[in-house]
Amino acid sequence: MFSKHKPTSVPADHTGSPPASSYTAPSRDEPRSGNGRPATIGAHTSIEGSVVGEEELIIDGQVVGTVEFKRNTVSIGNDGRVEGDIVAQTLNVAGSVEGRLIASHKITVHHTAQITGTIITPCLVLEDGAVFQGNIDMDAENDVLRSAFGGSVSKPAPQPYAQHDAEPTIDDDDADESAEAETQREENT
C-alpha cells in the first residue's frame, strides 16, 4: 500500500511541466489566471487563514484554513498539505488533506494522496494506492454543493459501464438450441 520511493514534488519555479500525478492542466472552459500561469504556494511556504482567488492554484506548501477557488482548479502537490475545507471547480489531490473537499465538477485523488474528511462532488476519480478515510457524497443536488456554488453544479456526462468479469448473455433461442444439443448428446451415448 505504501511505497518506499516517494515521487518528487513539483519544482518551485513551475517553468517546466509538473508531474502528471500532482497537476492537470485546465480544460478550455475553465477560467485561468490572467497571465496563463497558476498561482503557487511554494514548498517552503506556510499559510494560516483563508486563501481565496480567481485563478488556478497549486499548493506545494502548507495551508491551515479554507481554500476557495470556486471557478478554477486547485491542485495539491505530492508534498502539499491542507488542514481545512477546499472549495473549487476541479480538485487534484496528490498530497495530504484533512477537511472537506468540495468540487462542482470533479475531484481526482492520486495514488500518493492521503485524505481524512469528506469528499463532495458529482464526479470522483480515486486512484489505486490513495489513502482515504471519511465519507463520499456524489449527489449533484447536494445542499452543500448548491450553497457553495449557488446551484451551478456541472453534472458529468454518464459513462458506459464496462463489465469485465461478466458471463456472456444467452438469449432464449440460444438456450433452447443448447438444451436440444445436450439432449441429443445424451441420447447418442
For the chain, what is the total number of helices (H) and then of strands (E)?
2, 12
Per-residue pLDDT at 148: 86
pLDDT in tens, 169-179: 445 555 555 55
Q: How confident is the model at residue 150 (pLDDT cuts 50, 70, 90)?
A: confident
- Report percent pLDDT > 70 for the chain: 61
Across 114-124, b (16+ Cβ under 10 Å) vs e yields bbebebbbbbb
> What are the phi and psi torsion angles at 95 (to 5°)?
-105, -140
**Mean of the pLDDT values across residues 11-32?**
42
Give the β-pairing of 46-48 and 81-83: unpaired
Q: What is the mean pLDDT of residues 95-108?
A: 97
Q: What's the mean pLDDT in 10-34? A: 42
pLDDT of residue 92 exceeding 60, the answer is yes
Residue 82: the pLDDT is 98
Residue 187: enclosing H or E segment and its boundaries? helix 172-188
Q: What is the 8-class DSSP label of residue 144?
A: H
